[in-house]
Structure 1
Amino acid sequence: MLKRLRRDHQHIAILLDILAKKQRKLAVGEGVNFSLVRDIVEYMQSYAEHSHHPLEDITYDFFMKKTGGLNSSQLHDEHTRLAESSGALMYSLNMILSDIVISREKLVADLKSYIELQQLHMEYEEREIFPHFVKSLTVEDWAEIEKLCHQKLVDDPLFSESDEVTFDELKAYIADIDNKQ
């Protein structure tokens, strides 16, 4: 399960890098493919917020119960803030794609804020949360966690080998980036 969470972080980092490039282009007045940006945010909402973050929350809650640690709300609070931020960003992107004028400066600032929030959140988990999991959770614990997470376990709609047609444009964009490197 921890391997899956870390792999998700790697995939999210790829998408945040794409968003950061788009944000920088917007900041200097260049055009971007708003559909692609929306697809990234939609992926973050549909997969990260509805599968990845719940898996982290379940694992964290199991860890806290097992170790008797003081249950900090930081992880859950950050997940809530990320969902709020992605919702606001998605609203702005949908407005733009519906030909409703949104301030470029606001969109640039919202994108930058969202990217930074996501990056800081992943750094916090990698630095503060995941090492505790490694030290404290046994193979048996992970098996129990996987049972608890069963309802939230879904295949990654973007980075899995499924034939699902969701995010086709984004898949092609990422494949093109990989071919250029």
Structure 2
Amino acid sequence: MLTRLKKDHQHIAILLQILADKHQRLMTGEVVNFNLIRDIIEYMQSYAEHSHHPLEDVIYKYHAQAYPDEVQTEALLQEHEKLNDSSAAIMSTLNLILADVPVQKEQLCDDLAAYFSLQGAHLRFEEKHVFPLWKKNMQQEDWDNIEAQCAAKLMIDPLFSDDDNQVFEELREYISKASD
């Protein structure tokens, strides 16, 4: 499970770098592909917010119950809520732009900057504080119990998997070309 979460973080970091690049281009007045930005946010909403974060929440709650003497922080759960709100704000702005509704460029720039800043800090927090705590305390039996609890909720990553899923095809192609 922890390996899966870390792999997800690597994938999210790739997407955050693309968002940072698009943000920079917007700030300098360059034309950007709003559909690509929307695909990234849609991926984050459909996968990260509906599989990755709920898995972390289950592990967090399990760990807190199984290891009550360890110092726990509610920040993880709170950050997940903030990220949901932030991605919803970007998606709302993007939907207006894609519907040709006039929107101030600064609004999208502000939304993007807030999102990738929050998401980046969140990844660093988990990797520095949360994941090491789970790795130190949890035994294979714990991970097996968690996997059994989450089996129905876990989904295959629709972007970074080898299946024939056509969802996010344009984004997959963009990432592939960018890494060449």
Q: TM-score, normalised by structure 1?
A: 0.97
Amino acid at match of 1:121: H
* CA distance in structure 2 between the aligned counterparts of 1:139 and 1:77, rounded to whole angstroms: 27
- Gaps (5+ residues) in structure 2? none
1:40 aligns with 2:66: no
Aligned alpha-carbon RMSD (Å):
0.8
1:58 aligns with 2:58: yes
Amino acid at match of 1:94: N
CA-CA distance at 1:5 after TM superposition: 0.1
Say if 2:158 and 2:168, in contact at 8 Å, map to a contact too. yes
2:128 maps to 127
Amino acid at match of 2:12: I
1:94 maps to 95
1:107 aligns with 2:78: no
Say if 2:93 and 2:107, in contact at 8 Å, map to a contact too. no
Amino acid at match of 1:135: K
2:138 maps to 137
CA-CA distance at 1:27 after TM superposition: 0.5
2:73 maps to 72
* CA distance in structure 2 between the aligned counterparts of 1:156 and 1:47, rounded to whole angstroms: 7
Say if 2:93 and 2:103, in contact at 8 Å, map to a contact too. yes
**Once the two structures are superposed, what CA deviation does each residue of 1:42-100 show, in whole Å capped at 9, x if it has no partner?**
00000000000000000111111111145532111100000000001000001100000
Q: Could you list the runs of 4 or more consecutive aligned residues of structure 1 that deviate by over 6 angstroms after TM superposition?
A: none
2:175 maps to 174
